[in-house]
Amino acid sequence: MIDPILTVRDLTVTFPDDNGGLEALDGATFSVYPQEFVCLLGPSGSGKSTLLRILAGLLAPTSGTFTYIAGPPRIGMVFQQANLMPWRTVRENITLPLELEGVPALEADRRAEDLIDLVGLQGFEHTWPRDLSGGMAQRVAIARALVHDPDILLLDEPFGSLDALTRERMWAELSHVWQVRRKTVLMVTHSIGESLFLADRVLVMSQRPGRIKLDLAVDLPRPRADEMRYTAAFGKLARQLKDAIGFPTGIGSDSRSVLDTRY
Amino acid sequence: MDLKALLKTARIPRRSPSWTMLVSLAAALLAWELVSRYAGLPAFILPSPGWVVVRFWRALTGGSLLLHTGVTLLEVLLGLLAGTASAVGLGYAVAKSRLFERLVAPYLVATQAIPIVAIAPLLVIWFGPGMFSKVLICALIVFFPVLVNTVVGVRAVPRSLRDLMVSLRARRGQILGKLEVPAALPILLGGLRIGATLSVIGAVVGELVGADRGLGFLINAARGQYDTALVFVAVFVLIALALTLYGLVSFMETKFLRWQETNLK
Ligand SMILES: Nc1ncnc2c1ncn2[C@@H]1O[C@H](COP(=O)(O)OP(=O)(O)OP(=O)(O)O)[C@@H](O)[C@H]1O
Ligand SMILES: [Mg+2]
């Protein structure tokens, strides 16, 4: 059996507040394996972002451990907002992680160009972020997260701010990028449809304080096309996720409405 | 706060087409000429524009105007430099540490409450009528607006971009150079623009209080001899100085802040 690239054990976070502290995470435990695409699904406020921030080294847990197999990893992070530097052009934004590592400019530009091709932004290399659409900006953010060849991608609702149509196009693109680059991905999402479209495995978090409530393998064949969501297998998985989250399902709900629900 | 929204408020106003400026300038000159010619005022009250130009030429070729302008310009620039450097340094520390802010804020506010005109004589007594006391006055007057803008600018650096830098394991110096400086630059340059014109005022105030050179000294001297045309010359040179500095900062803004320009079609 392969060793997990990331092992998370009993992570607990308590934010100080006026009445004894606010528990955001309560003993989250799971593993992520190399080249796996894992989605983290859970209700709002269940501590998904908090968990991701810990794994990115932005926040120290109150207790518990997380271990990357090969020591401190290179991290590629994508946030809910594209989070580009407005004073850098598309290409300059993408080369940022390489600059920080001291990669020579010529080499950095070459690697940025590869990614610009991969995410389909040819011709926009020298565009300022203010002139990009939401979907284009998010693609720049994904390219930036990939450019330094990270050990793990941490995505926090990267498509949350996009309209439904663009979001679905981005799913296809992300899954394409993931298949080309074969990265380990941990992605937070609100959407059952999104998680089933992208993930090998879905972790469902409980209401706050967050714990891993369900660890569901998604064995749908790839590449996953739009039609897949009308299959029985998809519907069954969606139902399992929905039950785990604890969202009331009506009698008349079919796989379609499951998909369109953001919870 | 959203950086974009903040930058919009700090945006440089577009310069209006230059011909409107020329027309209004010509109108003002004409009005001045008419008043000086028909109001029956003596030349030591209101010299005509033509006479001021003649006086300008004489002062220029006579050699003293260039000297006085040079002295004032040097004071203004040195004061601007010293005031900006200390304000940016201190402002950065204030922005980064709430504790430090609480420690120094009362003093900073107090320095702002002291009218510079009132302590200028004191500074001249302490540091002599030479350039140093003027540079000090310029630095003091520049200090506060640049400090405030530095604090606002550094505090406006989005938390999410900081997170990005930390997740990429950026070092302190990289966060400063690649995030904090460019993010704070629009607001900082705004402070510098205000500081540049204030610095000119500081130098003149200092020179009026006590000096043996500089445009402020020239104004005092000319007034003593009822050479009002020369006073006008000095005032116009001061205006030109302030406008040039202002324009220089605006030029830096358009050069460094291309990324935030809107597409005005
Ligand atoms: N820095 C903080 N200080 C105090 N409380 C915090 C902080 N960050 C998060 N919280 C709280 O911790 C809880 C979990 O927040 P978190 O952002 O991780 O939730 P989430 O699962 O990402 O929610 P959403 O799906 O809405 O993004 C929330 O109740 C939130 O208010
Ligand atoms: Mg969140």
d(CA A17, CA A32): 32
- In this prediction, the residues of chain B whose per-residue pLDDT falls under 70 are 1-17, 63, 262-265
- Assembly ipTM: 0.86
Kindly state whether residue B186 falls inside one of the protein's structural domains. yes
The reported pLDDT for the residue numbered B174 is: 96
Tell me if A191 CB under 6 Å of ligand 1: no
Number of domains in chain B: 1
- Is the link from the previous residue into B17 a cis peptide, with omega within 30 of 0? no
Q: Could you tell me the distance, in angstroms and rounded to a whole number, from the CA of residue A56 to the centre of ligand 2?
A: 14
Pocket test for ligand 1, best of A11, A49, A213 (most atoms within 8 A of CB): A49
Give me the residue label for tokens 């009362």: B106
Burial B150-181 (b: 16+ CB within 10 A, else e): bbbbbebbbeebbbbbbbbebeeebbeebbbb
- Measured in Å, residue B116 CA sits from the centre of ligand 2 at 51
User: Across the beta sheet with A152-156, what order do the strands follow?
Assistant: A75-78, A152-156, A185-189, A37-41, A201-205, A212-217
Cα A236 → chain centroid: 23
Q: Is the beta carbon of A206 within 6 A of some atom in ligand 1?
A: no
Which ligand 1 atom is at minimum distance from the Cα of A51? Answer: 18
A6-15 and A22-32 strand pairing:
antiparallel
What integer is the mean pLDDT of A107-111?
95
Whether B183 sits inside 8 A of A79 (CB atoms) is no
d(CA B31, CA B37) in angstroms, rounded, equals 10
Task: Give distance in angstroms: CA of A82 to centre of ligand 2.
Answer: 14
pLDDT digits (tens, 9 = 90+) for B11-57: 555 556 688 889 999 999 999 888 888 887 888 888 888 888 888 89
Are the C-beta atoms of residues B211 and B129 closer than 8 Å to each other?
Answer: yes
Cα(A122) to ligand 2 centroid in Å equals: 31
Chain B residues within an 8 Å CB radius of A86: 3-4, 7, 259-260
Ligand 1 contacts CB of residue A208 (under 6 A): yes
pLDDT value, residue A143: 92
Question: Residue A131: which H helix or E strand, with range?
Answer: none
Which two three-digit tokens encode residue B183?
């993010």
Distance B96 CA to ligand 2 centre (A): 26
Number of other CB atoms surrounding residue B258 within 10 Å: 10
User: Does residue B183 fall inside a structural domain?
Assistant: yes
Within 8 A of B169 by CB-CB distance, chain A residues are 57, 72, 75, 100
Q: Residue window 149-178, chain A: list those with CB within 8 Å of chain B.
A: 154
- Chain A residues in contact with B183 (beta carbon < 8 A): 85, 87
Q: What 8-state DSSP symbol labels residue A86? A: T
Nearest by Cα to A50 from A88, A83, A11, A101: A11
Q: How far apart are CA A186 and CA A201, in angstroms?
A: 10
Beta carbon pairs, A and B, within 8 Å: 64
Which residues of chain A lie closer than 8 angstroms to B161, CB-CB? 83, 85
Q: Which of A86, A148, A154 sits opposite B259 (nearest CB)?
A: A86
Superfamily of A6-73+151-255 according to CATH = P-loop containing nucleotide triphosphate hydrolases (3.40.50.300)
Q: Which of A202, A203, A252, A197 is closest to A230 using CA atoms?
A: A197
- Which residue range(s) make up the domain with B137? 68-264
B39: in domain: no
For B:170-189, CB contacts with A below 8 A are: 170-171, 174, 178-179, 182-183, 185
CB A28 within 8 A of CB A213: no
Closest CA to A55 of A96, A101, A9: A9
Confidence of residue A246 (pLDDT cuts 50, 70, 90): confident
CATH assignment at residue B230: 1.10.3720.10
* Cβ–Cβ under 8 Å, residues A199 and A38: yes
pTM above 0.90, yes or no: no
Let me know if residue B31 belongs to a domain: no
Q: Does residue B26 sit within a domain?
A: no
The model's pLDDT over A212-240, given as tens digits with 9 standing for 90+, comes to: 989 999 998 888 888 888 889 999 999 99
Examine residue B29 and state whether it is found in any structural domain, yes or no: no
**What is the per-residue pLDDT across A128-174, written as a single tens digit (0 to 9) for each?**
999 999 889 999 999 999 999 999 999 999 988 888 888 888 888 88
Mean pLDDT score across all residues of chain B: 88
CA distance B166 to chain A (A): 7
Domain ranges in chain A? 6-73+151-255
Query: Domain for residue B97, yes or no?
Result: yes
Which residues on neighbouring strands pair with residue A23, listed in sequence order?
A14
Q: Looking at residue A263, what is its pLDDT?
A: 39
The structure tokens 């004032």 sit at B72
For residue B257, being part of any structural domain is answered with yes
Residue A163 CB burial class (10 angstroms; 0-12, 13-18, ≥19): exposed
pLDDT, residue A254, reads 40
